[in-house]
Amino acid sequence: MLFPQHIIARKRDGHALSRGEIGSFVHGATNGSWADYQLSALLMAIYIRGMTPTETALYTEAMMNSGVVADLSSVKRPKADKHSTGGVGDKISLHLAPMVAACGVAVPMISGRGLGHTGGTLDKLESIPGFRVNLSMAEYRAELEQIGVSLIGQTAELAPSDKKLYALRDVTATVECIPLICGSILAKKLAEGIDVLVLDVKFGRGAFMKDKTKARELAEALVSVAKAMGKPTRAVMTAMEQPLGRNVGNALEVIESIECLKGHGPADTMEVTYALGEQMLLLTKTAATQAEARSLLEQSVSSGAALTKFRELISAQGGDARVVDDVALLPQARLKVPLTAARAGFITDVDAMAVALAALRLGAGRAKAEDRVDHAVGFSALVKVGERVEAGAPLALIHANDEQALADAKAMLEEAVVIGDAPGVIVPLIDELIG
């Protein structure tokens, strides 16, 4: 019999936990046999004492097996997914998934909602009228068999232990613990039924991991654990100092993703998209070289195949595919007000986190899990670092549904965008490849 207090004491004293001890902990979180105070005590002990790579892999495996692991053996194409640690204006999944699917790779993608400054992938998708993210596992599998791509929310059957443990981590100051982060991310991703995984690990002001050294540590841990569990994985480290692309806000980011699929996406958004897509095609052996992978992805856009795949995805999940050709069908804000430059000069800074908080003030994200997201609000046509502007020129268009929120967000955005006499330093977007 493994008693919770004995397992807690062993980790408190710095010992590595066995498969059985870790299994007891995860099982206890799933079925309620461990009290919340016991789960919290072990979470804090892990936060302080850490976990060995073997422990982290065992923890991730136990979390993954706490629920159903999707069987996608009926999907004959290679299966790849991408996960981002989150950033401001990060709408990459929306257009990357159909691009990669158009290249012949199945993309089973189970995503989350946003908690914090901006909406998550599911919030963006739900701005499309009728779009269903709550598919059953049978519907998920059928969609992948038929069109090769599915973007859904986490089902109750997938890694149920994570829901319980994440909620406790959130209120016990144990969120920023790399072994626990690895378990949370990988348990869900590896339960999707994928063959390979590509990770976008962000660092900088608008990222979850602001410090580049800590972000690299996380990337290395994620790749190591996933490989230990038999899944070829690579991580691309990307900078998140200014928002990605020019639109921030759920429906506005859908519009930008549609532009990407039509070949008119912002340069920075497409740079990250191609970097991640190339690794998905290389890991699945769909392409032999980076140049070949890039060419396939570019062809998926130029031929219209990726846009067609996005239409198919929307239709398959109950959405109105006409939005691809008429973005006015997406939610529209009542108020649209430009922020203009007070002086001429160069954009020297666009603080990603400050922009995110301004979007949150408009209602684009959630301060609390139960908050309702306003899909219409946010910013479009946002300037980028290094651009020249004249006095009175627009720096962004603010989309709002509330006058006070508009006034507050405008003041916050004025602080976020800095104009100087010389171009600012542009931080390279793609930093390094791990794995």
User: Domain 332-420, CATH 3.90.1170.30 — does that match?
Assistant: yes
Handedness of CA 395, 397, 400, 404 (dihedral sign): positive
Handedness of CA 68, 74, 78, 83 (dihedral sign): negative
Q: What is the DSSP pairing of strand 430-434 with strand 233-239?
A: antiparallel
Q: What is the mean pLDDT of residues 295-323?
A: 98
Give the residue range(s) of CATH 3.90.1170.30 domains in the chain.
Answer: 332-420
pLDDT of res. 157: 83
Tokens of 89: 């204006």
Q: How many Cβ atoms sit within 10 Å of the Cβ of residue 132?
A: 15
**Average pLDDT in the chain:** 95
Top mean pLDDT of 107-121, 199-213, 241-255, 353-367 is at 241-255
Residue 117: pLDDT band (50, 70, 90) is low
Q: Tell me the pLDDT tens digit for each residue of 190-200.
A: 999 999 999 99
pLDDT at 411 over 90: yes
What residues does 152 pair with on adjacent strands? 110
DSSP 26: H
Give the residue range(s) of CATH 3.40.1030.10 domains in the chain.
Answer: 80-324
Q: What is the DSSP pairing of strand 345-350 with strand 394-400?
A: unpaired
Provide DSSP, 322-361: GGGT-GGGS---SEEEEEE-SS-EEEEEE-HHHHHHHHHH
Which parts of 284-329 fold into alpha helices (H)? 290-302, 305-316
Residue 309: pLDDT band (50, 70, 90) is very high
**CATH number for the segment(s) 80-324:** 3.40.1030.10
Give the residue range(s) of CATH 1.20.970.10 domains in the chain.
Answer: 4-50
**pTM: predicted TM-score of the whole model, two decimal places:** 0.94
Phi, psi of 352 (to 5 degrees): -60, -45
Please give the positions annotated as active site: 83, 162, 169, 184, 188
pLDDT at 115 over 60: no
Q: Tell me the pLDDT tens digit for each residue of 147-169.
A: 999 999 888 788 899 989 988 99
Among 408, 409, 407, 379, residue whose Cα is nearest residue 395: 379
Q: Tell me the pLDDT tens digit for each residue of 321-374.
A: 999 999 999 999 999 999 999 999 999 999 999 999 999 999 998 877 677 899
Phi, psi of 266 (to 5 degrees): -55, 145
pLDDT of res. 129: 98
pLDDT at 225 over 80: yes
CA 423 to chain centre: 30
Class for domain 4-50, per CATH?
Answer: mainly alpha
